[in-house]
Amino acid sequence: MDHSADAVETELHTRVRELLDTRDPATTPAADFLGARFDAGLAWVHFPKGYGGLGIAQTHQAQVDAALDVAGAPGPAKSRNGIGLGMAAPTIAALGTDEQRARFLRPLYTGEHIYCQLFSEPGAGSDLAAVATRAVRDGDEWIVNGQKVWTSGAHNAQRAILVARTDPSAPKHAGLTYFIVDMADPGIEIRPLRQITGEAEFNEVFLTDVRIPDANRISDIGNGWRVATTTLNNERVAIGSGAPREGGMIGKLADHWRADPDVRDPSKLDTLMRLWVDAEVTRLTGERLRGQLAAGQPGPEGSAMKLAFARQAQQISGFDLEISGSAGLRYDDWSLRRPESVDFTGRDAGYRYLRAKGNSIEGGTSEILRNVVAERVLGLPPEHRVDKDVAWKDLPR
């Protein structure tokens, strides 16, 4: 494929046209259309050929998405499968084998496989490298025992990305391995964790003698920290960027301000404009960051995006509650629900205010992300870590 700009645009236009000519979006089931789109290399154009992509710059994806949106074509289930699309897929594409790419990426994109993330544990949240869930080799399989927590969407998932300890005698960062797990394994138990909103989108997951084929191991044994870091960097970019102008939380606030004359206090206008400008600066920074990522995997800069997202979501939702007066204090629906997707903006101002409290924890706590930015982006001296070279089994817990 000629990678000159004009040639790429022509090739993409041709591929989109052929896809629409052979699969009418109005009559083709969504999963079938998405499968055909994947096969045409239009799922993630920057992914390798044959695995949903064409091996070209990620910046060309917008052209494909826009053309298919105009035609009324279905898109992947981003709200239900954000972990799969935003985290598992780029990790598998970058570090999986060709066999794993062929086996996992297509059903992930079509929505046949919804993913969850089995990373955090009760004793290993911010310090992810301290995970204790154990994976022991048994021939061509691994037997896994342990507990995970704060697992978004586990109750809807068919697959999971898992970090487990395979070598307790190695330092904590060196003894981890990364796997793809079948969530239908009989050794997996999922329990809801009720949140401040009343919902239970989070879960704790117990793994008892869960068997994972070695063919589901991503990268080398002991290389799990590097693979997990790839996943986390993609997660932080996915959480912290991607909304259109006045999308997400700031869009809800702007709509509220325009629609309700009672909240338009002139003394509050300065705060509203400051929040709007901050959100727009973050959006534009995210666009620039994604452009820089077109030729490779995201780096630590994504941590700054996620930091900004969490701070702004809490400030904006708090201001929305403030201008709502007594109406903002009402929260009428605290029933236990098991939603199919994570909804950051939610049903009303009260919900948004409560849900935003978790933004500074999920996807990496703000405290840890400040360390990442300080050390890996700004080049400041790292914190002293006394456990860096100590075997995990010898660490106090």
Per-residue pLDDT of the chain (397 residues; tens, 9 = 90+): 556 778 899 999 999 999 999 999 999 999 999 999 999 999 999 999 999 999 998 889 989 999 999 999 999 998 899 999 999 999 999 999 999 999 999 999 999 999 999 999 998 878 899 999 999 999 999 999 999 999 999 999 999 999 999 999 999 999 999 999 999 999 999 999 999 988 999 999 999 999 999 999 999 999 999 999 989 887 766 665 556 788 889 999 999 999 999 999 999 999 999 999 999 998 888 777 766 655 556 677 778 888 888 999 999 999 999 999 888 888 877 778 888 877 788 778 888 999 999 889 887 788 888 988 888 888 999 888 788 889 999 988 7
Domain boundaries, the chain: 5-75, 115-222, 227-377
Longest alpha-carbon distance in the chain: 70
Q: Are 55 and 70 in contact (CB under 8 A)?
A: no
Q: Which CATH number describes the domain made up of 227-377?
A: 1.20.140.10
CB atoms within 10 A of CB 376: 14
Distance CA 71, CA 25 (A): 7
Measure the CA dihedral 167/385/163/370, to 10°: -170
pTM of this prediction exceeds 0.95? no
Name beta bridge partners: 141: 138, 213
Q: Are strands 134-138 and 115-118 parallel, antiparallel or unpaired?
A: unpaired
Which one, of 152, 153, 162, 156, lies nearest residue 213 by Cα?
Answer: 162
Distance CA 151, CA 190 (A): 9
Which one, of 216, 101, 220, lies nearest residue 162 by Cα?
Answer: 216
Identified catalytic residue from 121, 201, 204, 235: 235
Give me the DSSP letters along 106-152.
Answer: HHHHHTSS-EEEE--BTTBSSSGGG---EEEEETTEEEEEEEE-S-T
What radius of gyration do the chain's Cα atoms show? Answer: 22
Q: Is 183 helix (H, G, I), strand (E, B) or coil?
A: coil
Our answer to whether residue 235 is catalytic in this structure is: yes
Residue 247 sits at the vertex; the CA angle it makes with 52 and 300, to the nearest 5 degrees, is: 60
Measure the CA dihedral 240/244/245/249, to 10°: -50
CA distances to 81, 91, 124, 224 from 120, rounded to whole Å, are 19, 18, 6, 14
Label residue 192 exposed, middle or buried (CB < 10 Å: 0-12, 13-18, 19+).
middle
Q: Are 316 and 250 in contact (CB under 8 A)?
A: yes
CATH of 115-222, one of 3.40.50.10320, 3.80.10.10, 1.10.357.10, 2.40.110.10: 2.40.110.10
Which one, of 73, 84, 63, lies nearest residue 37 by Cα?
Answer: 73
Please determine whether the domains at 115-222 and 227-377 fall in the same fold group of CATH: no
Encoding tokens for residue 276? 């709007």
Encoding tokens for residue 313? 């979501």
